[in-house]
Structure 1
Amino acid sequence: MLQQSGFGIAITGSGAATPTAYLDNQSLAQLVETSDEWITTRTGIRQRRLAAASDSLSSLATAAAAEAIAMAGIAAEELDLIILATSTADDLFGSASQIQAQLGARQAVAFDLTAACSGFVFGLVTAAQFIRTGVYRNVLLIGADILSRWVDWSDRRTCILFGDGAGAVVMQASECDRLLGFELRSDGSMNNCLNLGYRGQPKSLVEEVSIGQGGYQPITMNGQEVYRFAVKRVPEVIEKALYRADISVDKVDWLVLHQANQRILDAVADRLHIPPEKVISNLANYGNTSAASIPIALDEAVRQGQIKPGDTIAAAGFGAGLTWGAAIFQWGR
Structure 2
Amino acid sequence: MRGPGVAGYGLYLPEGRASARAIAHQFRIPESVVRDKQGLLSKRVSAPHEMPSAMALSAARRALARAHDAGVDRADIGLVAWVGSQWKDYHVWLASAFLQHRLGLRGSFAFDLSSMCTGMVFGLAMAKRFLLADDDLRAVLLVGASKESYLVRPSDPRSRWMDNFADGGVAVVVARDHARHRILGSDFLSDGSLALAVVQRGGGARFPTSTSYARAGRAYLENLLNEGRFRRQIDAVSLPNFERVIRRSVERSALPMSRVRLLVLNHMKWSFHRSILEKVGIPEERSVYLREYGHLQSADQFVGLDVALRAGTFSRGPVVMAAAGAGYVWGSTVLSWG
2:274 corresponds to 1:263: no
Instruction: Give the deviation of 1:58 after TM superposition.
Output: 0.9
Instruction: Give the deviation of 1:238 after TM superposition.
Output: 0.8
Show CA shifts across 1:221-268 (max 9, x none).
Answer: 555644443322101111111222221100111001122332222111
Which residue of the other structure, out of 24, 40, 52, is the alignment partner of 1:45? 40
Instruction: Give the deviation of 1:274 after TM superposition.
Output: 0.6
1:4-15 superposed matches below 5 A: 8-15=3-10
Q: Name the residue aligned to 1:276.
A: 284
Show CA shifts across 1:253-310 (max 9, x none).
Answer: 100112233222211111111111100222x11111111211222233334444424x
Matches of 2:75 and 2:270 in 1, distance apart? 39
1:47-66 superposed matches below 5 A: 47-66=42-61
Show CA shifts across 1:114-169 (max 9, x none).
Answer: 11111111111111111111241111112321102311132351452211111222
Uncovered stretches (5+) of structure 1, i.e. residues with no partner: 3-7, 202-210
Matches of 2:177 and 2:204 in 1, distance apart? 48
Instruction: Give the deviation of 1:91 after TM superposition.
Output: 2.3
1:42–1:263 contact (8 Å) kept in structure 2: yes
Q: Which amino acid aligns with 1:109?
A: F
Instruction: Give the deviation of 1:176 after TM superposition.
Output: 5.6
1:71-90 superposed matches below 5 A: 71-72=66-67, 73=69, 74-86=72-84, 87-90=86-89
Q: TM-score, normalised by structure 1?
A: 0.87
Secondary structure, aligned partner of 1:255: strand
**Which structure shows the bigger proportion of residues in strand conformation?**
1
Taking only aligned residues, the RMSD between alpha carbons, in angstroms, comes to: 2.4
Q: Name the residue aligned to 1:154.
A: 155
Instruction: Give the deviation of 1:60 after TM superposition.
Output: 0.5
2:185 corresponds to 1:181: yes
Show CA shifts across 1:61-97 (max 9, x none).
Answer: 1111122222222443432111111222212212112
Q: Name the residue aligned to 1:124.
A: 124
1:142–1:292 contact (8 Å) kept in structure 2: no
Q: Which amino acid aligns with 1:169?
A: V
1:259–1:294 contact (8 Å) kept in structure 2: no
Q: TM-score, normalised by structure 2?
A: 0.85
Matches of 2:109 and 2:247 in 1, distance apart? 34
Q: Which amino acid aligns with 2:99?
A: I
1:1-333 superposed matches below 5 A: 8-72=3-67, 73=69, 74-86=72-84, 87-92=86-91, 93-133=93-133, 134-155=135-156, 157-174=160-177, 178-198=182-202, 213-214=208-209, 218-221=220-223, 222=230, 225-282=233-290, 284-309=291-316, 311-332=317-338
Matches of 2:237 and 2:78 in 1, distance apart? 37
Q: Name the residue aligned to 1:207.
A: none
> Following superposition, which runs of at least 4 residues in structure 1 exceed 4 angstroms of deviation?
221-225
2:13–2:44 contact (8 Å) kept in structure 1: yes
Matches of 1:79 and 1:147 in 2, distance apart? 28
Matches of 2:90 and 2:247 in 1, distance apart? 37
Residues matched between the structures, number = 316
Uncovered stretches (5+) of structure 2, i.e. residues with no partner: 214-218, 224-229
Matches of 1:300 and 1:102 in 2, distance apart? 28
Matches of 1:153 and 1:60 in 2, distance apart? 24
1:80–1:138 contact (8 Å) kept in structure 2: yes
1:47–1:285 contact (8 Å) kept in structure 2: yes
Identical positions, percent: 27
Secondary structure, aligned partner of 1:31: helix
Matches of 2:251 and 2:109 in 1, distance apart? 33
* Residues 289 and 212 of structure 1, relative CA distance in 2, 3 Å threshold: closer
* Residues 227 and 299 of structure 1, relative CA distance in 2, 3 Å threshold: farther
Matches of 1:56 and 1:288 in 2, distance apart? 17
